[in-house]
Structure 1
Amino acid sequence: MKIGIILETKEFEKAWNAFRFAVTAKKQGHEVKVFLMGEAVECEGLTHTQYNVDEQLKAFVNIGGEILACGTCLKSRQLNETDACPISTMIDCVNLVVWADKTVTF
């Protein structure tokens, strides 16, 4: 199955769960893409003693997961794209939803 995940928060527990879900789905053999928008574009490097978002994000990338980050949201925060989170557009988000058999939002 093709699973699209749209993440709109950098709230530690929610973002951590979104990436745990992505890792688990990928490990079960699903194709998974994550689109970060709003404050979620700040997830890379985000750590907490109980909810290490960055660790889960990196685990997802390391098993071949694809992450896209909203360019407008990055620019509004004076952030640049990274290898893990390349700059993307709303068209890419729409294409993710069209591509996916199921779309989940966090």
Structure 2
Amino acid sequence: MKLAIIIYSNDPETVWNAFRLGIFSRKQGDTVSVFLLGKGVEVESLDRDKFDITGQIHSFLDIGGAILACGTCLKLRQPEELGICPISTMQDLYTLIHDSDKVLSF
């Protein structure tokens, strides 16, 4: 299955769980892509004592997950791009949704 996970939240527990699902799905053999949209582009600043989001992101990438981030959303929040993924566009989000078997949003 090809799974698209759209993360629109900057709630640490929500983001942590979204990446946990992505990791689990990759381990089941699914193709998984995460698109960071809106507040979701803030993922690199969300680590908390209970929620090691950076660790989850690196685990996700290490097992072949893909991450994309909305360039417009990034520009609204910070001048530089994320260190974990390329800047993407609405066309990239559309293609991801169009080509996926399932789309989840967090």
Bin for the TM-score computed over the shorter chain:
over 0.9
Q: CA deviation at 1:49?
A: 0.8
State how 1:41-52 maps to structure 2 within 5 Å.
Answer: 41-52=41-52
The 3 A distance-change label for structure 1 pair 60 and 79 is farther
- AA of the residue aligned to 1:27: K
Q: CA deviation at 1:83?
A: 4.5
Mapped to 2, the partners of 1:16 and 1:68 lie a distance apart of: 17
State how many pairs are aligned. 106
Whether 2:41 is the aligned partner of 1:21: answer no
The 3 A distance-change label for structure 1 pair 70 and 47 is same
- AA of the residue aligned to 1:105: S
Q: CA deviation at 1:53?
A: 1.2
Whether 2:74 is the aligned partner of 1:74: answer yes
Extract unaligned runs of 5+ from structure 1: none
- AA of the residue aligned to 1:76: L
Identity of aligned residues (%): 47
TM-score by length of 1: 0.94
Q: Which stretch of structure 1 is more off in the superposition, 62-71 or 46-55?
A: 46-55
Whether 2:10 is the aligned partner of 1:10: answer yes
Superposed CA offset, 1:1-43 (max 9, x none):
0000000011011000000000000011000000001111110
